[in-house]
Amino acid sequence: MPTITICSSANFYKKVIDVADRLTACRYNSIVPLTAVKMKESGDYDVSHYRTWLQDDNDYHKKADLMRRHFDEVAKGDAVLIVNEEKHGTLNYIGGNVLMEMAIAFYLQKPIFILNDIPADSTFLEEIKGMVPVVLQGDVEKLPAAYEKLAATA
């Protein structure tokens, strides 16, 4: 059973939990960011309660630890799925941290799936397209067939 590592902005972690449940229903394992797990357990999806480094520069070590931990999770998974929703008025937002996670997957030659469209106005448009991701057009249930198709050609 393939394992899909889910990557997204922390603002989308409630959606990430839903997507993970949907992958389970498709008989796929999933790995979600640690903070998404904490949010689910507490029922508190308010991102400002977790990003303490924005108020205290001394907490940036927490951000670094979370980044390293999820980079390791990207390496463990068989593929990555980017959950990209609207953020701050930007449709299909993919930020710098998720771009780094995508780059690790790309370097490790893992398939990259993007839930929604590639953000057309992204500063990283060339890099995102250059990683040749599979866009699921908002339908996570398309992932198994797309994954199997890629696995068959590998």
Spatial distance between the Cα atoms of 73 and 31, rounded to a whole number of angstroms = 7
**Per-domain residue ranges for the chain?**
3-153
Non-local CB neighbours of 51 within 8 Å, separated by 6+ positions? 10, 63
What is the bridge-based pairing of β-strands 79-83 and 112-114? parallel
pTM of the shown model: 0.94
- What CATH number was assigned to the domain covering residues 3-153? 3.40.50
User: Which is nearest to 125 in space by CA: 102, 154, 143?
Assistant: 102
User: Cβ contacts of residue 75 below 8 Å, gap of 6+?
Assistant: 104, 108
pLDDT tens-digit profile, the chain (154 residues): 899 999 999 999 999 999 999 999 999 999 999 999 998 999 988 888 888 887 889 999 999 999 999 999 999 999 999 999 999 899 999 999 999 999 999 999 999 999 999 999 999 999 999 999 999 999 999 999 999 998 888 7
Residue owning tokens 């940036």 = 60
